Amino acid sequence: MTDYFQGNFPLQSVPLTKSVAKSHAHTEEESGKLAATIAEAASDRKAGEIILLKVAEVSYLADYFVMMTGYSKVQVRAIAQAIEGKVEAELQRRPIRTEGKVEGSWVLQDYGDVIVHIMMPKEREFYNLEAFWIHAERISLPESDEGEGKPT
């Protein structure tokens, strides 16, 4: 299997600096660090109900899914921006693709080995991705501020 699919788009997220010596293949440890960094950035922006799922054993799509709730379209976009900024600053990675920022009700960020879902409460409840990926291992997050962004 090659590192490219039709259209010559890389399967892994795009590094900020090109290096011939560095492979695009990421280890499970690197994927875990990326997922934890994403969860931390989301928590900093008061995302609610942050869930980290290790899907590598049940799916070929990614190693991890990170799901969270934003309670307004503005917050959903702010969470997405915070994630991109923190991952770029700390890990020098950008998402391959980002979808849904304009609408702001469900933003998907694809880092190749980690896929991020930032959803409004109605979308999260309707699509119920946690139930779909019930066989994936759930990773506990240290110092999780679940629900702190929820309006009272």
Q: Does 67 reside within a domain?
A: yes
For 66, the domain range is 28-138
Distance in angstroms (rounded) separating the CA atoms of residues 3 and 28: 17
pTM: 0.76
Give yes or no for residue 4 having a pLDDT over 90. Answer: no
Contacts of 49 (CB under 8 A, 6+ apart): 67, 68, 69, 124, 146, 147
Residue 56 lies in a domain: yes
Model confidence pLDDT, tens digit, residues 109-123 = 999 999 999 999 999
CATH number reported for the structural domain that contains residue 118 in this entry: 3.30.460.10
Is 23 among the domain residues?
A: no
pLDDT in tens, 75-131: 999 999 999 999 999 999 999 999 999 999 999 999 999 999 999 999 999 999 888
